[in-house]
Every structure is written in structure tokens, then in C-alpha cells.
Chains A and B, each alone.
Chain A
């Protein structure tokens, strides 16, 4: 820790905390109740800043040494002021005043990092749901594109709306887990790992009319042994929206619901013989 490095470290830690908050906030609404998680973020910030304050203050007053770069141990004052660089700064009344100003700014650095981590992300339930809808629309459209042996694409049979309706029918915690998977699937970092492009899934293919990049990314998930189970969940979700569509039923010659009517293929016969469950004829 030093006056040069502390602001960078605090911004980075704030950034990571902001990202973690974003991911967990999917659950935050229900599990921790709205706002509580934000308080926890504040507590995390207070702890981080307090650690930095105490450690850096002890360095600055020369009580402890800084153990880096090993094997050399820097004197605390020297390290705080010069950060291992040949700046030649020494402690003075002026540096004490400056140190106080620096210390006072620590919470600001952390907060700035947090805001950076949260920027561009949905921070309210409404924003999150809107983002999820966007991901679902692109996921189903990619999984079931227009054309082929069953001509309508998912976008033409309103599969995304059916998937959205699924979210209302499943247990809340399960909805949150599924939402988290969708957000992870949409993550720039995972897209980068599989396609080499630092873009969200929904932003792949840009203005292009094709879905080649999205398809390539989806196929990468399906063929990855570590992600295949999660890919399966995504496929099940997309299939729910496509193969329960009345238009697709029709194209498959599937009758759909008949109740309360008896199915047209019902074969009436004589009374059944009794069996004993032994499996023998």
C-alpha cells in the first residue's frame, strides 16, 4: 500500500465489488430483500477502506515495514511516499497534511470503483428483466432460426413470450438461478473466451442480418464438456418456447390438447384381463 498505489487498488476492489453486486442482485430482490444487499456493499466498502486506512497509516507513521519487493523490506514512510520509485520524498508537516487529504479520499476511490463496476448494468429489477428479455429473444432466435425443415423461426412463433411466461410459473429461486445463467451466457468475458470478441452475446453479429456469430457462440457452449450441462438448461429453456407453440404443433401434425373430448384415435375394446405385475405374458 502506498499513496500512489492505494487509489488504484481501491478503485479495482470497488470495481470487483460492483460486479459481484450486479451478479448477486439477481437474487437480491427476493433472498436478501431490496436494498439490503446495497447495505452489504457499503459494509464491504467500509471494511476495505478501514483496512487500507489502518495499514497505510501504520506504514506512514513508520510503525511497520512494507514487505516488498522481497527480499527487501521497505521502511513504511519511504514506501508510502515513494512506492519504491526514486522520488526522494520524505515526511514533513506538509506531507502530513497531504496524507490526511489522501486518506480522506479513500472512500471516494472505492465508491468510484463500485460505480464503474455497476455502470452499464441493470440495477433495478425492471432493468434486469428488460435485459433478460433481450437475451431470451436472441437465445431462442439463435437456437431455432428461420428456415429449415420446420420453417418458422422462434422469432416468428413468439417463443420468447412463452419463455417469459415460464419464468412466472417456476419457483422464484429457480427463476433467479435461470436468470443468472442467462446473464452469465451474455457476459462479455465468456463471449471473449469462446469467440475472441469482447462483446455481449446480444451484441454479436452487430447490424448483420445473419446470426453466425451467435450460432458459433451457442455451438461452442454445446460442445464444451464443462458447460454442456448449462448449455442443456439453455436449450431446454429455448425448446420450451418453441416446441409448445401451436404453429409448431401443427407442422409436426401433433393434435395438441383434446380434453375433455376423447381422442379421435381411441380404440374401445373388450374388458381388460388382469395381470400381476410380474412382467410375464
Chain B
């Protein structure tokens, strides 16, 4: 049963075995896993419930409807735009459906540096396979690569750099190019099309979902969490209270919201909540081609170059990913003002775009404050700045190798390179706060995992249980101890599947 705010006209209370806060890659999988094991679940989601029939492929409608803060969320003082979904299904509804397993090297760091147990590649393999099968993950075939993706492929191959087509959770993709504003064909196998509907067809209706409901407090009772309190945005804009009592509570609101909830509930575990946030800052680099690329026509993010990525080197680095967007979102990193920006945007159909996804150091902090309740303090570190410059230069090299006549960076001061001889200009411009328009869609960390002996520098243990609490868990990208270096949704789902299994097996210990 899915309860929407518009259907609510009074305050209400619920009792369930498990309360899950957040319905994205972590929460939806957990709700299903636990319901499968016979537990009743109340799933609370701040955003609205919007089935694919609501997706009209219009940016002006979909962005306010599906994105957190209508897409206007920024890290300060860097001004980096941080995109997150806010709807039933979470960011899986608005992402590009790209699936990567966590790189072996990264899982190794989690084990070595943070003593996290049971996350080595062999242990995680089964969980990955399980979710990959459910979300119909497959590698994008050659015929489905549009010109924008082929530019990256051609350039990387010419330079001899490692590259490959992405694996995606999409079934019979219609290649409309609008993954970021909701898949109106229902072919993207987001949580909205997979785990969420699965929970609604189970016998006995064990999962009740409350949409439009903002959780604001975890109710503490000694070393246990007795339940949660939420506010439902109900009928005619009125607000109603939702009280949920549960034996086990799992916070899966995503980086920022999960830390915000812990902090606002007075649970700053080891003074570590909100610390160590990474965001994969990803500047866009635009190649201008004589031929028409029509990058909006086809899968936006179907190819990557991992030559300098942890996937290839085993070291922190950056990955180049093809990307394209509808005009409004596309215009945001395009530099210049007034006539100059119009001039640049007029070449929309001749552009190919590469995003350089930086595997950043975890230097950000989520804190309470501001009109929206939480702030993300994040400044690109000196080491990351250098690596970001290298990433942009590599992207420019690929674009020139593929035949671009010029390359435009997303520096706010218009920066145009006319050949590889101009790459040094990127060094000169730098990436100081305010100098560059940068986007991020992968906030992670803030409630990091730590195994035995690492309690003082972490929030949750190897099983995602919050230190010092018997029945409180966090499961989303916020538990990543370090930056992942690849698109994170698959790893969040796998960790959720793992946690679901663990809670199921140890139910009597947690539910007493």
C-alpha cells in the first residue's frame, strides 16, 4: 500500500517490525529483502510517489517534481551543484542507470584502512549478482551507442586508453535520452519499476509506504530506537504527524539526509556523523564538432574511459564518462553570460560532452543549519584540484583525438581550447571555488563504516549498525568509508541486500 500525502487528512501512527527511512537504492531493496523474510515494514519517503505515467519528459516539470530542492542543492562554499532524487525510488529514478560494482581496490581500502569486514569482492559477489539480476543489468550493445558515446569511444581508442561500454539497469531501452528526468517508458529498472512494485504485490501486503513524509526525529529509548516521527504533507497543504513504532529502524535517506536525521535526533555518534563526505565532483568538458552529434538523441551515458580510474590503476583517479542533457540542464555548465552564452548554446547539436568523475578525498561535512535544515560544507582539496585539472585535460585530449574542432570547459570565465597545444590554459584557469561550474550526483560518506578498533572514527559497524545502538542501522551511500570512484547505485543496492540478509538472520538479537 502506498499512502500519498494528498490522501491524508489526519495524523496517524503505525507499528511494524521494521521502519525504513528513504526509498532509494538502499531503502527499497531493504524493504523488499525484509518483507521477503516475513517482516512487516513501514517505508517513509520524503518525496512524492510518481509512477511513470506522470513523467512528461519536460525538464521544467520533472526537475521540481523529482529532484531534492528542485535541483537547487549546492555544496558550500565551493558552489558545486549536488543532484539527488527526492521521490519514491530516490535517485535511481533520475540517474543515468549506470551500474558498476565497487572496484576491488576500493573494497581493499575499506578492509585495510577501516577494518570493514565482509565487503571483499568475493563476499560481495553474490549480493551484486542478486541485485544485477533483479534490475536487469546488461552492457550497452554497440548498436545502441549514439554519436556522443562514440566520440568517447573513438577518442579513447585512438589514444590507446582503456574504455568500455557501460552496464546499465535498463530493459528494452527506448533511447529517448531523458533518463535524468524520469523514464516515461518504464524501461529503466529503477526502484520505482522493480523493488518498490515488488513490495506491493507480496501476499499479506507487508510493506506500507508513506510518500510525502519527512522524517524529522528518531525516538531514542536508552540504547534502542523506539520509532520515528515524521511530518506528512497532507491534504490541502496541511501537515500531519506520522508516528511509527518499530523493532528495527534503518535510515536510508542518502548522504546529507541520513546525517541530517541523525544529527537532528541528537545522535552525533562519536562526533563523526556528517564527517568524511565525498561527492565525485564532475566538471563537464564540451567538444564542438563540424558534424552534427545530436547527443540528446540516444542513451546519454553509455560509455566510459577508465584509463586513469581506480578500475584500471588501483589508485585514486578519475573516470571519463559520456554524458548529455536536455537544453536547460545542458546550459548550466556552459560558460559566458548574455550574448556569449547564447552563441555557445546555439551549437547544441554539434556538441559531444564528457564528464570527468573525480574520485575525491572525503573532505566534506554535513551540518545542521540553513533554511532547508542541512548544509554541505565541501571545498575541493589541493590534491583533488590537481587531479580535477588532469581529468579535464584528459577529456579534452579525447575530444580532440575524436575530431573536435574546439573544446569548451565549464570555467565560468569562457575558456575555449583550439587544440591540444592549448591544454595548459586549463592549468592556468584552475579550479578555485567559483572559477568552475561543477556538478555532482554521487554524494557519499558522512556515516562511514568502521570495523573492530575503528569505532571512534566511524558511525556504523561492518554490519551497518550504528555504534552504541542495538537496533538502528544506516544503509545508503553515506556508509561508504571512502569515495567509491564509480557510479554508486549498484554498491548501495548490494550493501542493502547484504544488510537485509544479515538482519533477517539475526532478527531475534535486534528485535528483542
Is B64 a contact partner of A169 (Cβ separation < 8 A)? yes
B279 CB within 8 Å of chain A: no
Partner of A275, one of B137, B175, B185: B137
Stretch at the interface among B253-261, B267-275, B336-344, B447-455: B336-344
Known: A232-B437, A252-B349. A277 touches B490 (CB 8 A): yes
- Docked Cα-Cα span, A257 to B175, in Å, equals 13
A243 CB within 8 Å of chain B: yes
Closest to A152 in B: B342
Is B337 a contact partner of A222 (Cβ separation < 8 A)? yes
Known: A265-B175, A276-B132, A279-B311. A270 touches B433 (CB 8 A): no
Is B101 a contact partner of A281 (Cβ separation < 8 A)? no
Question: In the assembled complex, which residues on chain A have CB atoms less than 8 Å from the CB atom of B177?
Answer: 263
A129 CB within 8 Å of chain B: no
Is B64 a contact partner of A277 (Cβ separation < 8 A)? no
From residue B81, how far is it (CB to closest CB) to chain A in Å?
8
Contact with B along A252-277 (1 / 0, CB 8 A): 11111111101101110110111111
From residue A151, how far is it (CB to closest CB) to chain B in Å?
9
Is A145 a contact partner of B339 (Cβ separation < 8 A)? yes
Question: In the assembled complex, which residues on chain B have CB atoms less than 8 Å from the CB atom of A278?
Answer: 100-101, 311
Is A259 a contact partner of B185 (Cβ separation < 8 A)? yes
Stretch at the interface among B5-13, B71-79, B106-114, B396-404: B71-79
Question: In the assembled complex, which residues on chain B have CB atoms less than 8 Å from the CB atom of A162?
Answer: 60
A173 CB within 8 Å of chain B: yes
From residue B214, how far is it (CB to closest CB) to chain A in Å?
10
Question: In the assembled complex, which residues on chain A have CB atoms less than 8 Å from the CB atom of B294?
Answer: 253, 265
Stretch at the interface among B35-43, B50-58, B219-227, B241-249: B50-58
Closest to A145 in B: B338
From residue B416, how far is it (CB to closest CB) to chain A in Å?
15
Q: Which of A233, A251, A252, A253 has the most CB of B within 10 A?
A: A252
A166 CB within 8 Å of chain B: yes
Is A218 a contact partner of B349 (Cβ separation < 8 A)? no
Is A254 a contact partner of B327 (Cβ separation < 8 A)? yes
Is B338 a contact partner of A144 (Cβ separation < 8 A)? yes
Is A218 a contact partner of B337 (Cβ separation < 8 A)? yes
Question: In the assembled complex, which residues on chain A have CB atoms less than 8 Å from the CB atom of B72?
Answer: 170, 174, 178, 233, 236
- Docked Cα-Cα span, A266 to B146, in Å, equals 10
Question: In the assembled complex, which residues on chain B have CB atoms less than 8 Å from the CB atom of A251?
Answer: 346
B70 CB within 8 Å of chain A: yes
A165 CB within 8 Å of chain B: yes
Partner of B76, one of A148, A229, A258: A229
Closest to A149 in B: B346
Question: In the assembled complex, which residues on chain A have CB atoms less than 8 Å from the CB atom of B138?
Answer: 272-275
Is B348 a contact partner of A253 (Cβ separation < 8 A)? yes
- Docked Cα-Cα span, A27 to B57, in Å, equals 32
Residues of A whose CB lies within 8 Å of any CB of B are 27, 142-145, 147-150, 162, 165-166, 169-171, 173-174, 176-178, 215, 218-219, 222-223, 225, 228-229, 232-233, 235-236, 239-240, 242-244, 248-249, 251-260, 262-263, 265-267, 269-270, 272-281
Residues of B whose CB lies within 8 Å of any CB of A are 55-61, 64-65, 69-70, 72, 74, 76-77, 79, 99-101, 103, 128, 132, 137-141, 143-144, 146, 163-165, 167, 174-177, 184-185, 294, 296-298, 304, 306, 309, 311, 326-328, 330-332, 337-339, 342-343, 345-346, 348-349, 371-372, 412-413, 433-434, 437, 486, 490
List 8 A-B pairs, minimum CB-CB distance, nearest first.
Answer: A275-B139, A169-B64, A149-B346, A229-B79, A275-B167, A257-B57, A269-B143, A259-B184
Q: List 27 A-B contacts (CB under 8 A).
A: A142-B338, A149-B345, A150-B342, A174-B372, A229-B76, A229-B79, A232-B74, A235-B332, A244-B327, A253-B348, A254-B296, A254-B326, A255-B297, A260-B185, A263-B175, A267-B298, A269-B143, A270-B141, A273-B138, A273-B139, A275-B137, A275-B138, A277-B101, A277-B128, A278-B101, A278-B311, A281-B164
